[in-house]
Structure 1
Amino acid sequence: MEISHRDYLFSILHSFCSFLSLILSISMQIFIFFSNCHPLYHLIPTFLTLFCHHFLSPSATHLVDFSCLRPAKHLRVPIATLLEHFNLIKRSDKEGIAFMIKVITSSGIGEETYLPLALRLIPISPTHKDAIQESHMQLLPTLDELFAKTKVLPQEIDLLVVNCSGFCTSPSLSSIVVNHYNMRSDVKSYNISGMGCGAGIIGIDIAKRFLERRKAKSYALVVSIQILSTGWYDGKDSRKLLLNCLFRLGCSAVLLTNQGKTDTFQPKYRLVHLLRTQNAYDDQAYNSAILEEDDEGKTGFSVERYIGKAVADLVKSHLTLLAPIILPWEERFKYVVYCLLHKKYVPDFTKAIKHLCIPSSSQPLIKTVGKGLGFHENALEAVLATFHRYGNQSASSMLYQIAYLEGKKRVAKGDRVLLFGWGSGPKCNSLVLECVRDFESDLNGNPWGDCLHRYPACM
């Protein structure tokens, strides 16, 4: 688990102060008892304990609302159009075309995914300017919708985190947001890249650590975006062609706060658990998915054949830490008994989690991970539908899945949702959200508003 020295020292200080306040309260109770003081004096240690607990305990983090981009219809690329495009731009690479056709037709991706205009030219030659235009095209409508939903002004934001896996510009994407919305001069802004499909949870972790140390009402904004214009691989290495086939446009924004119900809003979810692990120390795992140049000097993201084993080992080690945190006691007891009997037992995560959201990578990988967590294919409907409708949108895809569940009215008060993401490094991140209120989903502000009625039948 990734814990900074500062966080470690803070946790030690918090534990020491809590212990000190407990000892002080007990000592005062003993002194008052043997001094035969008036009974009202016994309330003083109680008030002291409650006072210390209020000011020493971290603030709870709540998810107010979120928004997801629905790209413009003219950016839609049906599979037949995409395959024709591949043939036109890669006539000399018959093996590469055959590989991409095989991946696309067997992945389960649908006919309504989106690509930016820069990747629809012949020949494809995206520039830095194209990537900047693509970022504006995705960031601004997504944030406009979120601010309109929550009635929170951009000037009220205290922390901004923007993540994008494959594009890092200067000024940063976070600076673009601050500039466009004229945010305050003291807003804390972070820009992270190269963190893969689990980067959205990393951004929420940064926001959580910021909010839980503040007692005054504060807001944090976490944005996940997928920029494709500069990520296209135009070479012949099949290991680098996979991203061309599966990744599509996508952007999401999440508003977090350290306040519960107020006069102006009531959050949808409460952050219950957040865990981060990584296997970057393992050389083979580290090189299983990496951005590099091919023999012709063309840059692309290589996905090695042994990545399945690397992901399996990563998920297994992560679940070993996650299971004791979220599983009910009966599942933990079963696990201990089976271990003592030297038998294999896979805990049933459905006993602790109602809904599962994972990166929408491809149908085979989605079903494999879901099965490993004990979720049947029916429970993976939101993930499979997201991949079919929008493709792989990296870190933002898990918010599209929650939007799908809300649109289908399957999320109720008390339900727990597990966001389980992994990315290059490799690293694995999990976030457990608990729904804190019942709400009616507004399909006008939902990315599934125009097509929800067709799912899951159209898959």
Structure 2
Amino acid sequence: MASGGAVGERSSSPHRRLPDFLQSVNLKYVKLGYHYLITHLLTLLLLPLIAVVLLEAIQTDPDDVRQLWLHLQYNLVSVVSLSALLVFATTVYLLTRPRSVYLVDYSCYVPPPELKAPFSEFMAHSKVCGFDDSALEFQRKILERSGLGEETYVPEAMHAIPPQPSMVNARAEAEQVMFGALDNLFSSAGVNPKDIGILVVNCSLFNPTPSLSAMIINKYKLRGNIKSYNLGGMGCSAGVISVDLARELLQVHRATYAVVVSTENITQNWYFGNRKAMLIPNCLFRVGGAAVLLSNRASDKRRAKYELVHTVRTHRGADDRAFRCVFQEQDDTGKTGVSLSKDLMAIAGEALKINITTLGPLVLPISEQLLFFATLVLKKAFKLKIKPYIPDFKLAFEHFCIHAGGRAVIDELESNLQLEPIHVEASRMTLHRFGNTSSSSIWYELAYIEAKGRIRKGHRIWQIAFGSGFKCNSAVWKSLRNVKASVHNPWKDCIDRYPVVTVDRVLAGTN
């Protein structure tokens, strides 16, 4: 009530708000001027020095310059030695420098329409699965406030009555998602599968024998000396881990392609018990997957969409509380599911803080780093009671792909990083249209931004994801051109309808 009264009082006296507005405008331009000054400080300091050197060069006697040239011309030993040193240094640099990694293209899987799961159908199926009334009511409330829309997808086995969570159906779901994404990728990128030298597949909860990576090799008849990796149990941030692993391998193996496939499998991991902490994944996780084509060939830079700039991985597994906050286990009745701790958001916040502390110096302008350092010194050294300075990451990135793990995750990052609604639009709309597709969600988000035509040459994109363990991982990309939506963009049939006002935002506004 107090806050409502304060708002009413301010609105009844508009002239009293004018000084505050002018002060905020002044501070805004002061901060912009500060950033400009610090960013161009080196240039501003060098200009007078360059002017002095040029002035001295103009005033130098031409005979002195001629004598220096003659000295070098006849001193062959010095010239040859210097040339050899330059050639050696250049060779060492070319052989040891990190190879650029380019994202040539990627594809996100869109399931067939018959796999859509509207809320009414979801609840009708839940009623016949043996959930008690309390569990059903809990799922209904979660769905209402989840941020998911009516067009997300669940696997075919979950549409059956009763559900059929068999190994055969789980394998069928994996093949449908992975092969669907890869077919589109190879088609749009124009790459022969035989040219793939590295394959990295990640799926947390479904790890059959032969592995998922072996299934792909068998399907596309990939070559026998391919470097194949299958990552399991690494949670929703495994997509960034897979990209980081592929990047490391591309530093070793010359002139080759790497394919990263990120997905999750729901068929055998649906929870049929009544423990509320284990029911949440049923309401959030949906079918999805992505395939990404990476290259270290210099010739691919001309056609690639992005260049990988940084990857930063943070692991909190040494802390017991963080280790158990997302935990696969059995309930009291022996039913298996994934339990989410009440401390999840607090633990995610701690992991995020560590991750951006590492990432910040790599991407933030020096002006922001100085402000952060100054605040830290005042707080630690002088014991001043001031709030920690939160760097403005909007100065480092034009676009943000925040893992669509749930409404709370997006809300938390929007608040903590002081982002604008447009910066989290891709995350919210991906959650609404496709649900939580685990490690592939950051690619649906990037596809959304492309479909909106917002990516220009030189733009920087921050992909950030959280996962069990507990982990927070980041990938930073730089656009190599104005990126248009691909032929197989997952938003091509619905982008005109977005953004939409989600039900959870409406409910939040009425509370």
TM-score, normalised via structure 1 length = 0.89
CA contact (8 A) 1:58 1:213 kept: no
- Equivalent position of 1:251 in the other structure: 289
1:71-150 alignment runs, 5 A limit: 71-90=111-130, 93-150=132-189
Partners of 2:358 and 2:157 in 1: how far apart?
Answer: 43
Partners of 1:279 and 1:405 in 2: how far apart?
Answer: 31
User: In the alignment, which of 217, 226, 239 is matched to residue 264 of structure 2?
Assistant: 226
- Equivalent position of 1:366 in the other structure: 410
- What amino acid is the match of 1:95? S
Aligned residues: 424
CA contact (8 A) 2:104 2:300 kept: no
**Per the alignment, in what secondary structure is the counterpart of residue 317 of structure 2?**
coil
Structure 1 residue 293 displacement after superposition:
0.7
**Is 1:206 equivalent to 2:250 in the alignment?**
no
Structure 1 residue 90 displacement after superposition:
2.9
CA contact (8 A) 2:100 2:307 kept: yes
- Equivalent position of 2:339 in the other structure: 302
- Equivalent position of 1:354 in the other structure: 398
CA contact (8 A) 1:165 1:394 kept: no
- What amino acid is the match of 1:379? H
- Equivalent position of 1:69 in the other structure: 109
- What amino acid is the match of 1:439? V
Structure 1 residue 170 displacement after superposition:
0.5
1:359-438 alignment runs, 5 A limit: 359-438=403-482
**Is 1:53 equivalent to 2:96 in the alignment?**
no
- What amino acid is the match of 2:332? D
CA contact (8 A) 2:429 2:500 kept: no
In structure 2, relative to structure 1, the CA distance for the partners of 1:339 and 1:262 (3 Å cut) is: closer
- Equivalent position of 1:312 in the other structure: 349
CA contact (8 A) 2:102 2:300 kept: no
- What amino acid is the match of 2:474? S
- Equivalent position of 2:26 in the other structure: none
Structure whose CA Rg is larger: 2
**Is 1:331 equivalent to 2:331 in the alignment?**
no
Partners of 1:186 and 1:269 in 2: how far apart?
Answer: 27
- Equivalent position of 2:51 in the other structure: none
User: In the alignment, which of 195, 199, 218 is matched to residue 160 of structure 1?
Assistant: 199
- Equivalent position of 1:269 in the other structure: 306
Structure 1 residue 439 displacement after superposition:
3.4
CA contact (8 A) 2:104 2:293 kept: yes
Structure 1 residue 122 displacement after superposition:
2.2
In structure 2, relative to structure 1, the CA distance for the partners of 1:365 and 1:187 (3 Å cut) is: same
Partners of 2:73 and 2:360 in 1: how far apart?
Answer: 45
Partners of 1:448 and 1:382 in 2: how far apart?
Answer: 11
**Per the alignment, in what secondary structure is the counterpart of residue 445 of structure 1?**
coil
User: In the alignment, which of 413, 432, 446 is matched to residue 489 of structure 2?
Assistant: 446
The CA deviation string for residues 164-209 of structure 1, in whole angstroms up to 9 with x for no partner, is 1211111000000000100000001110111111101111111100
- Equivalent position of 2:41 in the other structure: none
CA contact (8 A) 2:105 2:304 kept: yes
Which shows bigger deviation, 34-43 or 110-119? 34-43
Partners of 1:393 and 1:427 in 2: how far apart?
Answer: 17
Q: Which segments of 5 or more consecutive residues in structure 1 lack a partner in the other structure?
A: 1-31
CA contact (8 A) 2:456 2:481 kept: yes
Percent sequence identity over matched residues? Answer: 36
Query: How large is the Cα RMSD of the aligned pairs?
Result: 1.7
Structure 1 residue 458 displacement after superposition:
5.5
In structure 2, relative to structure 1, the CA distance for the partners of 1:448 and 1:458 (3 Å cut) is: farther
Partners of 1:449 and 1:156 in 2: how far apart?
Answer: 29
Which shows bigger deviation, 160-169 or 77-86? 77-86
- Equivalent position of 1:10 in the other structure: none
Structure 1 residue 88 displacement after superposition:
2.6
CA contact (8 A) 1:65 1:268 kept: yes
CA contact (8 A) 1:158 1:186 kept: yes
TM-score, normalised via structure 2 length = 0.80
In structure 2, relative to structure 1, the CA distance for the partners of 1:48 and 1:154 (3 Å cut) is: same
CA contact (8 A) 1:228 1:248 kept: yes
- Equivalent position of 2:498 in the other structure: 455
1:18-29 alignment runs, 5 A limit: none
The CA deviation string for residues 362-408 of structure 1, in whole angstroms up to 9 with x for no partner, is 22321211221221222111000000000000000000000000010
Structure 1 residue 34 displacement after superposition:
12
Structure 1 residue 48 displacement after superposition:
1.3
Partners of 1:39 and 1:205 in 2: how far apart?
Answer: 44
**Per the alignment, in what secondary structure is the counterpart of residue 111 of structure 2?**
coil
Structure 1 residue 441 displacement after superposition:
2.1
Partners of 1:37 and 1:365 in 2: how far apart?
Answer: 66
Partners of 2:300 and 2:312 in 1: how far apart?
Answer: 28
Partners of 2:409 and 2:314 in 1: how far apart?
Answer: 20
Partners of 2:339 and 2:264 in 1: how far apart?
Answer: 18
- What amino acid is the match of 2:127? N
Which protein is richer in helix relative to its size?
2
- Equivalent position of 1:175 in the other structure: 214
In structure 2, relative to structure 1, the CA distance for the partners of 1:453 and 1:184 (3 Å cut) is: same
Structure 1 residue 37 displacement after superposition:
2.2
Partners of 2:376 and 2:168 in 1: how far apart?
Answer: 57
CA contact (8 A) 1:260 1:267 kept: no
Partners of 2:424 and 2:136 in 1: how far apart?
Answer: 30
- What amino acid is the match of 2:401? C
Partners of 2:146 and 2:155 in 1: how far apart?
Answer: 21
- What amino acid is the match of 2:169? D
**Per the alignment, in what secondary structure is the counterpart of residue 327 of structure 2?**
strand
The CA deviation string for residues 117-156 of structure 1, in whole angstroms up to 9 with x for no partner, is 1011222231011100111111111101100111111110
CA contact (8 A) 2:147 2:407 kept: yes
- What amino acid is the match of 1:155? K
**Per the alignment, in what secondary structure is the counterpart of residue 89 of structure 1?**
coil
